[in-house]
C-alpha cells in the first residue's frame, strides 16, 4: 500500500505534464496493467490451490515487481511505460491473490472483519505517508525517483513475508469450515457481490486519475497540495479501518456493505461541486471512508461464499473481475476516453484548454454518479428479496410446526383414550370373582 501511495497518485500527473500523454494514454496507464492482473489472477489462484505454497507466490510476486520497477526508471516513452507496467502487474498479481487466500485460510470466520480492518489500517497508514512524501519528492526531485523507492519497498515486503509468515499454522482448515462447504449454494450471492462491487468501484475509481489532473492542470493545485488531498483520504481510511473491522464481525456484513455502496455513490456527487482545496480534502475523506467499509465486508463475504476447497480459484475470479471493472477499465473508459472526448467537444465549441478540461471533468463526474447508483440500487433490491424469502421461509416453518403440533396433539389424545380403556379393563378384571376352574386348580 505504501508503494502504491508513492507511485500511482502522481503517475497520471507525470505522464500528462512531463511525457506529453493525452487523457486516453493516461487512462491506459491504469487500464492495461489492471487488465493483465485480472487475466492472470485466476491462473495464479488455481496454481496456489494445487501447490499450497501461498507464501512463495507472495515473495515471488513482490520480488519480480521490484526488479521491474528498477528496469523502468529510464523509460521516457509513454507506450513503453504502459507495456512495462502491464507486465509488472501481471506478475505482481500472484502476490495479491495469494495474500487474499492466505488471510481467509489463517483467520477465523468470526475475526476476518477485524483482521481486514487491522491490515487495511496498517496499509493505508503507509499509503498516506507515501502519498505525502511523493508530493514533496515530485516538487523537489521529480517523479523518476519513485521507481527506485517503490522497488525498495517491494524487496523489503518480500523479505518480511519470507521471514515472519508461517503458513503451516492455519487456524481454519477448509475441510472443516462451516460456512464455506464445497458446493455451489453460495455462488449466486458471490456473483451478485462481484457485480455490485464492480459497478461501485467502476464509477469511483474511474475518477481517481482524472481528479488528480483536474486539480493539477484544471485548478492549478501544487504537487504538495495534491499530495495533501490524497493523504487526507488515506487518513480517513486509517482512522476507520480497525473500528469498522470490529463492527463488521458483530453485525450483518451485507448491511455494512450497503453503507459502503452509499458512500461510493455520494462521492462523485460531492466531487461535482468541489472547487476549493477544502472541498477536495472533504471529498477525499469521504472516499477514504468507503474503502474500509468495502474491504472489511466484501472481501470476507467473498471468502465465505466461495467453496473452501477451491478458495484460491474463486478469490482469483473475485479479484480478477474487481480489478478489471473496478480498477482497470474505469480510468481508461471514464477518466480517459470519455473525458478526452468531452474535452475535445468543448474545444471544438471554442472553449479554452483549461475550461474545457474543467467542464469535461464535471460531466464525467455525473456519469460516474449514475454508474455507482446502479450498483447501490441492485444491492438494495437483493437485500429486499432475500428478506422476503427469509420471511416466507419463517412463515412456512411456523405453519409446519403448527401442523406437527396438531398432529402430535391428536396422537396423544388417542394414546390417552386407549390407556384409559386399558385401565378400565384391568380394573374390571381385578374386581370380578375368580372362576370355578381357577379355584379348583388352586
Residues 321-351 have pLDDT tens digits of: 777 777 777 877 888 889 888 999 999 998 8
Q: How many structural domains are present in the chain?
A: 1
The average pLDDT across 9-21 equals 78
* 176 belongs to a structural domain: no
pTM, two decimal places:
0.62
User: What is the tens place of the pLDDT at every residue in 82-124?
Assistant: 899 899 888 888 887 787 777 777 766 666 666 666 666 666 6
* 422 belongs to a structural domain: no
The average pLDDT across 230-238 equals 77
Predicted confidence at residue 174, as pLDDT, reads 42
* 286 belongs to a structural domain: yes
The average pLDDT across 379-388 equals 82
CATH number for 315: 1.20.1250.20
* 98 belongs to a structural domain: yes
Question: Could you tell me the residue range of the domain that residue 306 belongs to?
Answer: 2-166+182-387
* 396 belongs to a structural domain: no
* 436 belongs to a structural domain: no
* 51 belongs to a structural domain: yes
pLDDT band of 377, cuts 50, 70, 90: very high
SS3 of the chain: the string is: CHHHHHHCCCHHHHHHHCCCCCHHHHHHHHHHHHHHHHHHHHHHHHHHHHHCCHHHHHHHHHHHHHHHHHHCCCCCCHHHHHHHHHHHHHHHHHHHHHHHHHHHHHCCHHHHHHHHHHHHHHHHHHHHHHHHHHHHHHHHCCCCHHHHHHHHHHHHHHHHHHHHCCCCCCCCCHHHCHHHCCCCCCHHHHHHHHHHHHHHHHHHHCCHHHHHHHHHHHCCCCHHHHHHHHHHHHHHHHHHHHHHHHHHHHCCHHHHHHHHHHHHHHHHHHHHCCCCHHHHHHHHHHHHHHHHHHHHHHHHHHHHHCCHHHHHHHHHHHHHHHHHHHHHHHHHHHHHHHHHHHHHHHHHCCCCHHHHHHHHHHHHHHHHHHHHHHHHHHHHHHHHHHHHHHHHHHHHHHHHHHHHHHHHHHHHHHHHHHHHHHHHHHHHHHHCCCCHHHHHHC
Q: Mean pLDDT across the chain, nearest whole number? A: 76
* 58 belongs to a structural domain: yes
Amino acid at each position: 500500500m505504501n508503494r502504491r501511495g508513492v507511485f500511482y497518485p502522481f503517475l497520471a500527473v507525470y505522464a500528462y505534464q512531463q511525457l506529453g500523454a493525452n487523457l486516453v494514454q493516461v487512462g491506459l496507464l491504469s487500464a492495461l496493467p489492471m487488465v493483465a492482473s485480472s487475466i492472470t489472477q485466476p491462473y495464479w489462484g488455481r496454481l496456489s490451490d494445487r501447490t499450497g505454497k501461498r507464501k512463495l507466490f507472495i515473495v515471488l510476486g513482490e520480488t519480480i515487481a521490484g526488479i521491474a520497477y528498477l528496469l523502468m526508471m529510464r523509460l521516457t516513452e509513454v507506450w513503453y511505460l504502459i507495456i512495462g507496467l502491464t507486465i509488472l502487474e501481471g506478475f505482481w498479481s500472484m502476490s495479491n491473490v495469494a495474500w487474499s487466500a492466505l488471510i481467509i485460510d489463517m483467520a477465523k470466520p468470526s475475526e476476518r472483519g477485524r483482521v481486514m480492518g487491522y491490515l487495511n489500517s496498517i496499509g493505508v497508514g503507509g499509503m498516506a505517508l507515501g502519498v505525502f512524501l511523493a508530493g514533496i519528492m515530485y516538487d523537489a526531485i521529480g517523479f523518476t525517483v519513485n521507481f527506485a523507492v517503490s522497488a525498495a519497498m517491494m524487496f523489503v515486503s518480500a523479505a518480511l513475508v519470507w521471514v515472519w509468515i508461517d503458513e503451516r499454522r492455519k487456524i481454519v482448515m477448509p475441510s472443516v469450515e462451516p460456512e464455506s462447504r464445497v458446493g455451489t449454494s453460495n455462488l449466486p450471492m458471490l456473483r451478485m457481490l462481484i457485480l455490485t462491487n464492480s459497478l461501485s468501484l467502476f464509477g469511483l475509481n474511474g475518477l481517481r486519475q482524472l481528479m488528480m489532473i483536474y486539480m493539477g492542470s484544471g485548478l492549478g493545485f501544487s504537487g504538495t497540495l495534491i499530495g495533501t488531498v490524497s493523504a487526507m483520504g488515506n487518513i480517513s481510511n486509517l482512522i476507520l479501518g480497525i473500528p469498522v473491522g470490529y463492527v463488521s464481525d458483530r453485525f450483518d456484513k451485507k448491511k455494512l456493505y450497503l453503507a459502503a455502496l452509499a458512500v461510493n455513490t455520494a462521492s462523485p456527487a460531492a466531487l461535482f461541486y468541489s472547487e476549493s482545496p477544502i472541498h477536495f480534502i472533504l471529498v477525499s475523506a469521504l472516499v477514504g471512508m468507503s474503502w474500509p467499509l468495502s474491504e472489511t465486508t466484501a472481501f470476507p463475504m467473498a471468502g465465505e461464499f466461495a467453496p473452501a476447497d477451491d478458495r484460491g480459484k474463486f478469490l482469483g475470479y473475485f479479484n480478477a473481475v474487481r480489478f478489471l471493472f473496478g480498477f482497470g477499465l474505469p480510468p481508461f473508459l471514464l477518466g480517459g476516453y470519455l473525458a478526452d472526448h468531452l474535452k475535445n467537444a468543448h474545444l471544438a465549441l471554442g472553449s479554452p484548454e483549461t475550461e474545457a478540461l474543467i467542464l469535461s471533468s464535471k460531466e464525467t463526474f455525473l456519469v460516474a454518479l449514475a454508474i455507482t447508483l446502479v450498483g447501490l440500487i441492485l444491492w438494495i433490491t437483493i437485500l429486499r428479496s432475500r428478506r422476503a424469502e427469509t420471511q416466507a421461509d419463517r412463515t412456512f416453518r411456523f405453519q409446519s410446526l403448527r401442523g406437527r403440533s396438531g398432529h402430535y396433539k391428536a396422537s396423544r389424545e388417542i394414546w390417552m383414550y386407549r390407556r384409559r380403556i386399558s385401565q378400565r379393563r384391568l380394573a374390571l378384571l381385578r374386581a370380578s370373582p375368580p372362576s370355578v376352574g381357577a379355584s379348583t386348580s388352586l
